[in-house]
């Protein structure tokens, strides 16, 4: 808060502290002394945005440079957006209160496809032209990063540049480059050309796409001029252990979704689940050393005062030093009331023992496992290395340790799925329930403490770019409905609860996850007709989306429900996560045979190509003896 006056009407919008800035550790600088103004944008509401680690990492890296001021900007909830329009307040940076339209760069993070309409919503609130081609010299550069950039094509019309991969190093290169060009008075076009010269940076307007008249698939994507790379490969940090990690992040006053310190203990995952985009695009796996983790923990507790730390990663129980790490941190902080937690649990007894250590002083809430599929065959198809006996083991040890409530996550619509696989979900839930009940009575628990509940949650499979299933169709909405009906019939009984989601949101997600540039028109039309906050039930309006598709003459099932062949030019063919296409194909073919692929942490190199492409290697703290 650089002494700016906050309007009284803020009390009339919901949760005004979303819009005031001025949190502990929020960075204040003198705007007159800055060479570059940067906005880190998250296209969702404050409580979601502030739970995101990536923004905090980049915020600290940029603000450590004395000549750049990085501020945060998030999507105002619609009540606030209306009020801002009424008061003619444009979208502003939370730190300075200055309009972001006057900044040099706005960097959006693309975490999920259903946030795309909010990018247009925010650009509009900021008063910035939506289309990159319409922006003038005075407008900021709009760039994007995050997992959805492995296919950013539906957003190509709206983005000036896209960063593939890890942002820690490239963001500094971008800032330095833009500072130099700004001082030299370079025009926008020159800035874009210079950005396109940075490894990992993609400038969509420098590429031409053409579609085949016959089947509407892509004919080619290619650079429009010499000197522009034909293929862009993601960036990774040179040395993960030494990579900057926030030690002084802003601490919200209001309760947010992840209201704790998220300490990233490892990046990447070696499990190789074939549906999982994160598992493919964040390769190779790299661990932080226990010494470094402890040092970061200390620094974060001192700077934030949070009472909870989560040891975060895609699969934290896989960290080679996780047991010592958990024991040491509990010993060090437990007495002062600080709790340590894991974000998700692998379905095995080892993970449950870990969770027990962490929650031993606390009340046992519920435990979540993700078998993903009901039968062993289908789990082998997706390469989810969970066996029924592992899950039962996990449930039995958890029950003995005092847990009574279990959540099982499944996906429906997976490749090769049959009715048998779906019925097996019901059977698995019943087995878990009966094993847990047996363990409860063996422990002699009585009354309320003997009641076991199993919640089955079934989400809809969304095939993603740069995964082995990128060629596979998503089940049509009607099929998903039938499958949900079937599940409602088989996942039932006392102690069993079933949760599902509307298939329409997963369908829209699938359309945009593998869409091409033609979807830009649909997105703009949908936003103009009122679409925003599509990830929120209260705002998602499928009818508006269907109308937008129809008015643009685009069939969304072409993107969501069509089987592609391996020869097809995919919209993201020119964008690489480092994993070879040949590896993705071989994984897809192995899926067809329900053949497993080993974990590269324990087995030999699988030849996914990431280490060769990026000239790197996995980094594991110590040799592993547990599976």
Partner 1 sequence: MTTLNTANAVGAGDAATVTATATANTFHILRLRLQKKEHGRFISHLDLMRAFERTVRRLQLPVALTEGFHPHYRISFGPALPLGASSSAEYCDLILTARPEQSALLEKIGRHLPPGLSLIDGSYIDNGQSLSDFIMRASYRVRLAIGDFATAEELIALGKRILESEQFPIETETRKGLRTIDLRSGIDQAQWAVSGEELICDLFLAAGSANNLKPQDALIPFIRKGAAPNELHRAGLYGKSGQNWADPFGNVLLKWPEVKIEGE
The stretch among 18-26, 391-399, 438-446, 588-596 that binds partner 1 (CB under 8 A) is 18-26
Encoded tokens for 516: 């091409």
Asked if residue 448 binds partner 1 (CB under 8 A), the reply is: no
DSSP 3-state assignment of 349?
helix
Q: Which is nearer to partner 1, 3 or 226 (CB)?
A: 3
* 60 or 388: CB nearest partner 1: 60
């499944």: which residue's tokens? 410
Based on the shown chain and the rule CB under 8 A, indicate whether residue 27 belongs to the binding site for partner 1: no
Cα separation, 556 vs 571, in Å, equals 15
Q: Quick check: 305 binds partner 1 (CB under 8 A)?
A: yes
Question: Per rule CB under 8 A, is residue 257 in the interface with partner 1?
Answer: no
To the nearest 10 degrees (0 to 180), the angle between helices 349-359 and 322-333 is: 10
Nearest alpha carbon to residue 420 among 454, 373, 462: 373
Q: Does 113 bind partner 1 (CB under 8 A)?
A: no
Give the position of tokens 């579609």. Answer: 211
- Residue 465-504 contact track with partner 1, rule CB under 8 A, x = bound: ----------------------------------------
Near partner 1 by CB under 8 A: residue from 185, 226, 337, 444:
337
364 or 581: whose CB is closer to partner 1?
364
| Least spacing, CB of residue 265 vs partner 1, in Å | 22
Judged by CB, which is closer to partner 1: 36, or 342? 342
State which residue, 28 or 586, has the beta carbon closest to partner 1.
28
Binding range to partner 1, per CB under 8 A, among 331-339, 461-469, 489-497, 567-575: 331-339
Q: Can you tell me whether residue 520 is helix, strand or coil?
A: helix
Tell me the helices (H) and strands (E) count for the chain, helix number first.
20, 19
Residue 10 within binding range of partner 1, rule CB under 8 A = yes
Classify residue 239 by burial, with Cβ atoms within 10 Å: 0-12, 13-18, 19+.
Answer: exposed
Task: Tell me: does residue 576 bind partner 1 (CB under 8 A).
Answer: no
- One character per residue 71-110, x = contact with partner 1 (rule: CB under 8 A): ----------------------------------------
Stretch that binds partner 1, among 9-17, 59-67, 170-178, 465-473 (CB under 8 A): 9-17
Q: In the set 17, 85, 451, 595, which binds partner 1 (CB under 8 A)?
A: 17
Q: Which is nearer to partner 1, 47 or 139 (CB)?
A: 47
User: What is the DSSP code (8-state) at residue 100?
Assistant: G
Q: How many CB atoms lie within 10 A of CB 157?
A: 20
368 touching partner 1, by CB under 8 A = no
Per-position DSSP letters for 193-250, written without gaps between them: HHHHTSTTEE-GGGEEEEE-TTT--EEEEEESSTTS-SSEE-B--S-TTTS---SS--
Query: 77 and 18 in contact (C-beta within 8 Å)?
Result: yes
In this chain, which of 199, 205, 295, 306 binds partner 1, going by CB under 8 A?
Answer: 306
DSSP 492: -
Size of the site for partner 1 (CB under 8 A): 31
User: Which DSSP state fits 567?
Assistant: T
Sheet holding 367-372, edge to edge: 367-372, 405-412, 453-460, 496-500
**Residue among 19 and 410 whose Cβ is closer to partner 1:** 19
Q: Which two tokens stand for residue 42?
A: 């998250």
Single residue of 86, 138, 363, 448 touching partner 1 by CB under 8 A: 363
Q: Which helix (H) or strand (E) holds 438?
A: helix 419-442
* Residue from the set 85, 212, 254, 451 that interacts with partner 1 by CB under 8 A: 254
- Site membership for partner 1, residue 299 (CB under 8 A): no
Q: Is 253 in the site for partner 1 (CB under 8 A)?
A: yes
Using CB under 8 A as the binding rule, whether residue 6 contacts partner 1 is answered as yes
Give the C-alpha separation, 316 to 350, whole Å.
Answer: 12
CA dist 547 and 543 (Å) reads 6
Helix or strand run (H / E) with residue 497? strand 496-500
Residues whose CB falls within 8 Å of the CB of residue 514, separated by 6 or more in sequence, listed in order? 151, 463, 464, 465, 470, 559, 560, 570, 571
Give the one residue of 3, 227, 444, 447 binding partner 1; rule: CB under 8 A.
Answer: 3
- Residue from 194, 307, 323, 330 binding partner 1 (CB under 8 A): 307
Residue number, 39 or 248, with CB nearest to partner 1: 248
**Which range, of 336-344, 347-355, 443-451, 603-611, touches partner 1 by CB under 8 A?**
336-344
16 is a contact residue toward partner 1 (CB under 8 A): yes
Q: Which of 53, 172, 251, 330 binds partner 1 (CB under 8 A)?
A: 251
CA distances from 8 to 1, 72, 95, 99, 152 (A): 16, 22, 18, 19, 40
- The CB-of-122 to partner 1 minimum distance in angstroms stands at 22
Choose the binding region for partner 1 from 60-68, 119-127, 333-341, 456-464 (rule: CB under 8 A). Answer: 333-341
| Structure token pair of residue 242 | 């030494």
In terms of CB distance, is 449 or 582 closer to partner 1? 449
Length in residues, the chain = 627
φ, ψ of residue 42 to 5 degrees: the values are -125, 120
* Candidate list 21, 371, 413, 515; residue touching partner 1; CB under 8 A: 21
Interface with partner 1 includes 217 (CB under 8 A)? no
Work out which of 87, 255, 538, 625 binds partner 1, going by CB under 8 A: 255
- What tokens appear for 176 in the block? 């330095």
The single residue among 257, 302, 550, 595 that binds partner 1, judged by CB under 8 A, is 302
Q: Which stretch binds partner 1 (CB under 8 A): 305-313, 437-445, 478-486, 534-542?
A: 305-313
In angstroms, what is the minimal distance from the CB of 302 to partner 1? Answer: 6
Q: Which is nearer to partner 1, 320 or 339 (CB)?
A: 339
Show the tokens assigned to 238.
């040179």
Q: Give the residue from 121, 122, 141 showing the smallest Cα distance to 132.
A: 141
User: From its phi and psi, is residue 156 left (phi > 0), alpha (psi between -120 and 50) or beta?
Assistant: alpha
Q: How far is CA 254 from CA 93, 235, 558, in A?
A: 18, 34, 43
Residues that bind partner 1 (CB under 8 A): 1, 3, 6, 8, 10-11, 16-17, 20-24, 26, 251, 253-255, 301-307, 336-338, 361-363
């Amino acid at each position: 808060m650089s002494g700016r006056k906050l309007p009284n009407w803020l009390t009339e919008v919901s949760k005004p502290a979303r819009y005031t800035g001025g949190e502990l550790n929020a960075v204040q600088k003198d705007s007159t002394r800055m060479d570059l103004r940067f906005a880190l944008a998250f296209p969702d509401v404050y409580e979601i945005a502030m739970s995101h680690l990536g923004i905090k990492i980049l915020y600290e890296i940029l603000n450590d440079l004395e000549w750049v001021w990085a501020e945060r900007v998030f999507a105002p909830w619609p009540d606030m957006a209306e009020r801002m329009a009424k008061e003619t307040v444009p979208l502003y940076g939370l730190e300075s209160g200055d309009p972001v339209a006057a900044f040099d760069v706005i960097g959006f993070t693309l975490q999920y496809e259903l946030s795309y309409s909010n990018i247009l919503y925010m650009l509009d609130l900021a008063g910035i032209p939506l289309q990159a081609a319409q922006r003038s010299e005075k407008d900021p550069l709009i760039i994007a990063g995050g997992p959805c950039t492995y296919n950013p094509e539906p957003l190509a019309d709206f983005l000036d540049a896209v960063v593939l991969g890890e942002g820690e190093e490239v963001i500094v290169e971008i800032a330095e480059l833009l500072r130099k060009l700004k001082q030299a008075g370079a025009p926008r076009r020159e800035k874009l050309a210079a950005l396109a010269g940075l490894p990992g940076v993609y400038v969509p307007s420098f590429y031409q796409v053409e579609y085949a008249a016959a089947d509407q698939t892509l004919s080619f994507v290619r650079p429009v001029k010499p000197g522009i790379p034909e293929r862009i490969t993601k960036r990774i940090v040179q040395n993960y252990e030494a990579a900057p990690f926030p030690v002084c992040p802003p601490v919200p006053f209001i309760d947010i979704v992840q209201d704790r310190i998220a300490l990233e203990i490892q990046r990447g995952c070696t499990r190789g689940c074939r549906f999982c985009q994160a598992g493919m695009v964040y390769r190779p796996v790299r661990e932080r050393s226990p010494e470094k983790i402890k040092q970061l923990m200390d620094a974060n507790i001192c700077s934030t005062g949070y009472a909870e730390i989560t040891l975060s990663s895609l699969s934290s129980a896989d960290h080679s030093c996780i047991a010592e790490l958990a024991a040491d941190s509990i010993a060090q902080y437990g007495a002062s009331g600080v709790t340590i937690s894991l974000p998700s649990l692998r379905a095995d007894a080892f993970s449950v023992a870990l969770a027990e250590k962490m929650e031993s002083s606390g009340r046992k809430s519920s435990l979540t496992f993700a078998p993903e599929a009901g039968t062993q065959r289908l789990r082998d198809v997706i390469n989810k290395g969970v066996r029924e006996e592992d899950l039962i083991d996990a449930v039995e040890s958890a029950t003995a340790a005092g847990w009574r409530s279990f959540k099982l996550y499944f996906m429906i619509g997976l490749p090769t799925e049959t009715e048998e696989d779906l019925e097996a979900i019901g059977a698995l839930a019943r087995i878990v329930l009966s094993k847990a009940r047996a363990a409860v009575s063996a422990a002699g628990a009585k009354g309320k403490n003997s009641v076991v509940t199993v919640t089955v949650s079934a989400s809809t499979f969304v095939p993603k770019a740069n995964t082995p299933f990128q060629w596979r169709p998503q089940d049509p909405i009607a099929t998903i409905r039938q499958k949900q009906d079937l599940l409602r019939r088989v996942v039932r009984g006392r102690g069993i609860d079933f949760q599902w989601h509307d298939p329409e949101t997963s369908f829209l997600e699938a359309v945009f996850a593998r869409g091409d540039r033609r979807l830009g028109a649909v997105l703009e039309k949908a936003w103009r007709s009122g679409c925003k906050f599509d990830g929120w039930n209260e705002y998602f309006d499928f009818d508006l989306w269907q109308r937008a598709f129809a008015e643009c003459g685009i069939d969304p099932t072409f993107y969501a429900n069509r089987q592609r062949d391996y020869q097809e030019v995919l919209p993201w063919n020119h964008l690489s996560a480092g994993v070879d296409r040949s590896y993705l194909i071989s994984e897809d073919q192995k899926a067809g045979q329900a053949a497993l692929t080993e974990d590269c942490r324990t087995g030999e190199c699988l030849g996914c190509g990431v280490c060769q492409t990026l000239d790197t290697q996995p980094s594991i703290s110590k040799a592993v003896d547990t599976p």
